[in-house]
Amino acid sequence: MKISFHGAAGCVTGSNYLIETDNFSFIVDCGMFQGSKTLKENNYKNFAYNPADVDFALLTHAHIDHTGLLPKLVKHGFNGPVYATAPTVDLLRYLLPDSAHIQEIEVMQKNRRNERKGLEPISPIYDETDAANAIALMKSVERHETFEPVAGCRVTFHNAGHVLGSSFIEIELEDKGKKRKIIFSGDLGEDDKPILNDPDRFSETDFLVVESTYGNRNREKQTKEGRLQQLAEVFKRAEKRGGKIIIPAFALERTQDLLHDILILKKQNKISGIKVVVDSPLATDITKVFLKYPECYDEDATEIMEKMGGLFDHPDFRFTNSVEESKALNHEKRIVIMSASGMCDAGRIKHHLKHNLWNPANTVLFVGYQAEGTLGRLLVEGAKTVRIHGEEVTTGAQIEQITGYSGHADQSGLLKWLSGVKEVRQQIFVVHGEPESADAFAVKLNEELGFRAVAPRMGEVFELLADQPAAAAAAPVAEKVKEAKAPEAVAPAVDSYNLYAQLTLQLADFMRNSKDENIRREKLKKLLAEI
């Protein structure tokens, strides 16, 4: 019995883990790599295993970095059932076709540029037909109800509190007469998040695969009241400047969380009648899915639903659909525009930033994690000038950030989730974190809490049936996965494309500010010689 790591190992995206026994094999999650261009290039590579040999798939939740390569898996031969909670299945009916559409559009645009450059055309990773084929394989399961996808495998989904339908997955396996239990955390939410119930807990397992997005740091703790107050203050400061509020927000969960909190503030008359526009057809569809599953709401959200007539209903809320409606927002003033993606690496938000980032009257409010190499990360870290759609844009707008909306538990939240665990008999695998975060959390688990933890890297394989002492039971086996890459080649913190963008911006600044032609010429000659 082996586990191998094919994504979210040494990086935050692309979750994909393969379990192999003598009688069957399956994957947990099949995510798309997001972030830097170097990281996204992994999406075009062949799977390190044969998709046709995989018997079934389990999904922790609907986010594209956990599900976005499922259509590619199907395209390359996978034809087994895909198990997920009912909300996850419903969400993916919108998310996967949208992902396919985005890829088709981006490839079409890139091929136009390639044609002008005399380069060969490229193909999308998958298309909408592949997405439909993946959706057709999905089977919904109930939380807390154990089922057997194959003989020798028992699976139970538990609430992870991350997004609607999200789960950590408990798997009991039997192979060669030996039994092992392994739990995959998926992405874990904090307690007291808007709308959703708190994560469930577990008491024991043999192996645990746990996320570490914030494994090396803690955020300032906020009560629900504190979070609402902080949001209200951002709105008040923005209204004094008289411009727009631009909010990069993931279509799934973050948009709904914000609508929920803005509704409360408006009902309490703590913010003005400023109009809120959700400029994302995908977010509109997902909001409708939220309304189908009130059983997932916590007590506060249930009370709001009952007292206010709905979580997302207010005369000041507007949902756009067409491209024309989106473009028309450029001419509106003193509005809130909420648009995807949350890290500003794709979608309509890039257009809104291109048209609004330069204006000091405007505010850009970040409410989620910004991965290395993304436009959002650059802005949060204080970039004065950025490139959007090949053009330089000056950062004139006020950049604000609220950390209380994160969908991920921070280090203390992860430790709180683990505090009730009586026993991890073998090993903890720390995944879904940038190297410094995953490594730090593994050290924390080892040195301070007495667990045996390791942070695997892409392509590593571990034996789960070893009869060695527990401390050595999950040592890497000699076999390595085909096409395994060194950690530094998989997810550099700043890749060559980031450096290229930085270089072009600095060169442009140098040319503007240097008035001496001789100095400009000699500097550029020296640079060209080095290249």
Q: Contact 51/73 with Cβ under 8 angstroms?
A: yes
Give residue 494's pLDDT.
60
Work out the average pLDDT over 364-373.
85
Work out the average pLDDT over 132-156.
98
Give residue 390's pLDDT.
79
Structure tokens at 320: 């756009």
- Enter the pTM of the model: 0.86
Give residue 288's pLDDT.
93
Is residue 243 predicted with pLDDT exceeding 60?
yes
Is residue 284 predicted with pLDDT exceeding 90?
yes
Structure tokens at 402: 């609220």
Q: How far apart are CA 7 and CA 345, in angstroms?
A: 19
Beta bridge partners of residue 411, listed in sequence order: none
The more confident residue out of 515 and 256 is: 256
The tens digit of pLDDT for each residue in 428-461 reads 999 999 999 999 999 999 988 889 999 999 999 9
Q: Contact 66/59 with Cβ under 8 angstroms?
A: yes
Q: Mention every residue, 6+ apart, whose C-beta is less than 8 A from residue 285.
A: 94
Give residue 470's pLDDT.
43
| Residue among 94, 92, 182 nearest 140 (CA) | 92
pLDDT band with cut points at 50, 70 and 90 for residue 190? confident
CATH class of 2-218+407-490: alpha beta
* Residues of the chain above pLDDT 70, percent: 94
**Sequence spans of domains, the chain:** 2-218+407-490, 224-405
Q: Contact 264/225 with Cβ under 8 angstroms?
A: no
Query: Quick one: which H or E segment has residue 163?
Result: none
pLDDT band with cut points at 50, 70 and 90 for residue 184? very high
pLDDT band with cut points at 50, 70 and 90 for residue 301? confident
Distance of CA 263 to the CA centre of its chain: 25
Give residue 488's pLDDT.
39
Work out the average pLDDT over 92-105.
94
CATH number of 224-405: 3.40.50.10890
Beta bridge partners of residue 17, listed in sequence order: 5, 28
The tens digit of pLDDT for each residue in 465-497 reads 876 544 444 545 433 333 344 433 344 556 676
